[in-house]
């Protein structure tokens, strides 16, 4: 792909052509050698999209909630991009969110773009490809980018590093889970959603959450965001407007407190570090010419050398290269 | 900790003193500045332990199986170290395997050492701290090291990079899961265990697995290991001796086919690369003196600079340092 083609692709993506958007995401996801050129070409058009992360344990109704949220945001006339992040555990079992939603009501809506992304095997996981895809959607004029994690794992924590606002979904009947999870979810949630709120135990779940929030606040200093708890029945669309409203309120809070800039600077920091590490990793791999890493590894396997000394030698050669 | 203290600690660990073993693992897990010295001191005494990885989706009875396997291996007079790897998702919910087993029959057995390790926040996850802990157990004279992953995520895949033999546990009634998981588990399993084999659906699970294995073999070239399927009822100890036997047979196959050396060389390669990357990451962090990364990230957040150009500058400074 030569330069003019890239310019045209970017121009078409900015006009909102789904094929151009999809093509750009494929290029950045596959670590195309042009990924840096793409980022450079897109950067001037970015910074406008609100980025929300959705996460939560299996069984809380994440895909139903995402679909309902999409409907509500579209109802306000907003263009919405969805990135469904799949950590690709061999045991994940479920169909990809994006694939499921794609087949529903949003499939033919030009104001919606849905993409599943696998993070397996990516050095740095979410930290690498996802910000590139967010940049594409941002430059393509989507007002909101929803990042949803599929499955359970490190990605739930990492999503926070990418989002302006992180929504944690829970459901009744997971009492033990909430207790065990409290440290983690309190750290990452900006908005709590208790889905399936028409079921037994919803009051108890909300009550537990409130207690956790109150306890955590005692340990905090200074003014801070008070995490709201929204009850929803996503399958019936109930409470979803309140989630949209909570997202907006949080975004306004971020702007008013300088927190949006702070989060985006932290996000840029993560991204730059991830790109630098990936490049260094590639340079290390290049030292396999003459298989330098392989030679050192063989000596480690034979216990002639410890791995730290081997790593030191590798780094010395990298810096000399 | 001065040099002589380290020598003494290593000597005590080699005598099998659990406190010395535990202390060494703590030091390597916490990335003590002495971690390289520890690896150097241990390396001459390593290479003897057989390393087996146990993995599988939640609900298959992993902790019960590990406990039963421990009993069976101890029955053969083998000393066994267990590393329970916890990817520390905020949603994991379950108690740590190691903590549960520690309270059972093996608690007072000097031939057993059990340790839970959290991988959250570790660059490279399992790739980093786990090989260090394996090295400690190997040097301390444990005949078998069992690495068990807790929860679901990338760690299930990564465990293969650390183990001589990978055991994948499944259970009846997970038919859809097996179908969805087939590509992943076929790649990583050396031995399949269908636990809870006294339940309905066990025959179907075994049948499905057999079909998957047969299909996968058609795509392979050359002679290869045929993954056995062992039925167990771990809670009653049924079939566990057959698992031990399958582990031994696979180990003998590894040795006879030169595959053990190949796997250990690959493991050393992963480890050296992980250590080198971690060091480079630390050097990048040092560039925060004068907060060079922060300056660049702020310019990226302000969209004055794209993150790839920022990463290039960071690497240039790293190499100049």
**What's the pLDDT tens digit per position in B205-216?**
898 888 888 877
Q: Please choose, from the candidates A3, A33, A38, the residue with its C-alpha nearest in 3D space to the C-alpha of residue A21.
A: A38
What CA dihedral angle connects A83, A84, A85 and A86, to 10 degrees?
-150
What CA dihedral angle connects B107, B112, B113 and B119, to 10 degrees?
-100
Cα–Cα distance between B97 and B109 in angstroms, integer?
17
Backbone angles phi, psi at A170, to 5 degrees: -135, 170
Residue tagged 């903590």 (tokens):
B99
pLDDT value at B234 more than 60: yes
User: What's the pLDDT score for residue B121?
Assistant: 47
CB spacing of A311 vs B279 below 8 angstroms:
yes
A207 token code pair: 């009550």
Tell me the H-state helices in chain A. Answer: 3-14, 18-29, 35-42, 62-75, 97-102, 126-139, 154-158, 175-188, 202-219, 240-256, 259-286, 292-301, 307-320
Specify if B24 maps to a domain.
Answer: no
Q: How many domains does chain A have?
A: 2
CA distance, residue B163 to nearest chain A CA (Å):
14
Specify if B105 maps to a domain.
Answer: yes
CA distance, residue B290 to nearest chain A CA (Å):
15
> Once rounded to an integer, what is the mean pLDDT over residues B275-287?
79
- Residues listed for chain A: 321
pLDDT digit string (tens) for chain A, length 321 residues: 545 589 999 999 999 899 999 999 988 887 677 888 999 999 989 999 999 999 887 778 888 899 899 999 999 999 999 988 765 545 444 445 544 555 567 777 889 998 887 765 444 455 578 888 999 999 999 999 999 876 555 555 667 778 999 999 988 876 555 554 555 667 788 999 999 999 998 998 898 888 888 877 666 545 588 899 999 999 999 999 999 999 999 999 999 999 998 889 888 888 888 888 888 877 877 765 557 888 888 888 888 888 889 988 888 888 876
CA distance, residue A94 to nearest chain B CA (Å):
7
pLDDT value at B68 more than 90: yes
Please check whether residues A139 and A201 belong to one and the same domain. Answer: yes
A261 token code pair: 């800039």
Cα–Cα distance between A269 and A296 in angstroms, integer?
32
Counts for chain B of helices (H) and strands (E), in that order: 13, 7
Please check whether residues B138 and B239 belong to one and the same domain. Answer: yes
Q: Interface pTM (ipTM) of the complex?
A: 0.77
B39 token code pair: 């690896």
CA distance, residue A127 to nearest chain B CA (Å):
12
Please check whether residues B245 and B310 belong to one and the same domain. Answer: no
Cα–Cα distance between A232 and A65 in angstroms, integer?
9
CB spacing of B308 vs A177 below 8 angstroms:
no
Q: Which of B229, B256, B283 is the last residue of a domain?
A: B256
Q: What is the DSSP letter of B96?
A: P
Q: Which of A233, A257, A281 is the last residue of a domain?
A: A257
Specify if A289 maps to a domain.
Answer: yes
Please check whether residues B103 and B239 belong to one and the same domain. Answer: yes
Residue A88, CA distances (Å) to A47, A113, A122, A152, B214 in order: 29, 21, 11, 10, 24
SS3 A228: coil
Cα–Cα distance between A98 and A86 in angstroms, integer?
10
What CA dihedral angle connects A108, A112, A113 and A117, to 10 degrees?
-110
Q: What is the DSSP letter of A233?
A: B
Minimal Cβ distance to A181: which of B90, B154, B157: B90
Q: Please choose, from the candidates A20, A258, A34, A3, the residue with its C-alpha nearest in 3D space to the C-alpha of residue A139.
A: A20
Q: Which of A207, A230, A257 is the last residue of a domain?
A: A257
CB spacing of B93 vs A176 below 8 angstroms:
yes
Specify if B266 maps to a domain.
Answer: no
Please check whether residues A218 and A285 belong to one and the same domain. Answer: no
Sign of CA dihedral A178, A182, A187, A191: positive
Please check whether residues B279 and B249 belong to one and the same domain. Answer: no
Specify if A71 maps to a domain.
Answer: yes
Cα–Cα distance between A180 and A158 in angstroms, integer?
19
Residue A54, CA distances (Å) to A164, A243, B4, B146 in order: 11, 11, 52, 35
- Mean pLDDT, chain B, as a whole number? 81
pLDDT in tens, B291-316: 788 888 888 888 888 888 998 888 88
Specify if A226 maps to a domain.
Answer: yes
CB spacing of B44 vs A303 below 8 angstroms:
yes
Please check whether residues B53 and B110 belong to one and the same domain. Answer: yes
In this complex, how many residue pairs, one in chain A and one in chain B, have their CB atoms less than 8 Å apart? 227
CB spacing of A279 vs B153 below 8 angstroms:
no
pLDDT value at B152 more than 80: no
CB spacing of A268 vs B307 below 8 angstroms:
yes
Please check whether residues B287 and B235 belong to one and the same domain. Answer: no
- Are B119 and B155 contacting, i.e. CB atoms less than 8 angstroms apart? yes
Please state, as a whole number, how many other Cβ atoms lie within 10 Å of the Cβ of residue B176.
Answer: 11
User: What's the pLDDT score for residue B93?
Assistant: 41
Cα–Cα distance between B213 and B170 in angstroms, integer?
14
Please check whether residues B180 and B294 belong to one and the same domain. Answer: no
B49 token code pair: 């332990």
Instruction: Looking at mean pLDDT, say which of A76-80, A303-307, B24-28, B117-121 comes out highest.
Output: A76-80
Cα–Cα distance between A19 and B108 in angstroms, integer?
63
Specify if A2 maps to a domain.
Answer: no
Terminal alpha carbon distance of chain B: 29
Specify if B103 maps to a domain.
Answer: yes
| Residue range(s) defining the domain that contains residue B288 | 273-320
- Are B15 and A282 contacting, i.e. CB atoms less than 8 angstroms apart? no
Q: Please choose, from the candidates B45, B39, B25, the residue with its C-alpha nearest in 3D space to the C-alpha of residue B275.
A: B39
Residue tagged 């267990």 (tokens):
B82
B240 token code pair: 């566990």
Chain A partners within 8 Å of B176 (Cβ): 93
Please state, as a whole number, how many other Cβ atoms lie within 10 Å of the Cβ of residue B206.
Answer: 18
A183 token code pair: 């440290």
Please check whether residues B65 and B214 belong to one and the same domain. Answer: yes
Instruction: CATH number of the domain at A230, please.
Output: 3.40.50.300
Chain A partners within 8 Å of B277 (Cβ): 277, 280-281, 284
Instruction: Looking at mean pLDDT, say which of A212-221, B22-31, B240-249 comes out highest.
Output: B240-249
Beta bridge partners of B229: B192
Chain B partners within 8 Å of A308 (Cβ): 35-36, 39-40, 275
Please check whether residues B277 and B236 belong to one and the same domain. Answer: no
Please check whether residues A99 and A50 belong to one and the same domain. Answer: yes
């Amino acid at each position: 792909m030569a330069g003019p083609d890239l310019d045209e692709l970017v121009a078409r993506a900015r006009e909102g052509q789904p094929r151009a958007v999809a093509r750009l995401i494929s290029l950045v996801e596959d670590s195309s050698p042009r990924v840096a050129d793409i980022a450079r070409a897109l950067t001037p058009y970015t910074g406008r999209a609100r980025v929300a992360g959705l996460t939560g344990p299996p069984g809380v109704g994440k895909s139903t909630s995402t679909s309902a949220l999409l409907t509500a945001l579209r109802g306000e006339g907003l263009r919405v991009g969805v990135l469904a992040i799949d950590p690709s555990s061999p045991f994940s079992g479920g169909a990809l969110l994006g694939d499921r939603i794609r087949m529903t009501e949003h499939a033919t809506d030009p104001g919606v773009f849905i993409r599943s992304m696998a993070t397996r095997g990516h050095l740095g996981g979410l930290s690498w490809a996802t910000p590139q895809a967010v940049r594409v959607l941002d430059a393509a004029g989507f007002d909101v980018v929803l990042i949803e994690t599929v499955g359970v794992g490190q990605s739930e924590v990492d999503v926070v590093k990418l989002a302006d606002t992180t929504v944690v979904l829970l459901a009744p009947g997971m009492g033990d889970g909430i207790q065990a999870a409290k440290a983690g979810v309190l750290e990452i949630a900006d908005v709590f959603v208790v889905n399936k709120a028409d079921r037994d135990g919803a009051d108890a779940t909300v009550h537990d959450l409130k207690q956790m929030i109150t306890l955590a606040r005692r340990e905090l200093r200074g003014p801070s965001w008070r995490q709201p708890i929204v009850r929803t029945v996503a399958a019936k669309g109930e409470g979803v407007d309140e989630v949209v409203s909570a997202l907006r309120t949080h975004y306004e809070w971020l702007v008013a407190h300088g927190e949006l800039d702070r989060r985006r600077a932290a996000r840029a920091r993560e991204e730059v570090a991830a790109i630098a590490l990936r490049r260094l990793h590639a340079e290390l791999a290049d030292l396999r010419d003459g298989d330098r890493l392989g030679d050192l590894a063989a000596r480690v396997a034979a216990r002639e050398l410890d791995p730290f000394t081997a790593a030191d030698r590798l780094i010395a050669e990298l810096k000399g290269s």
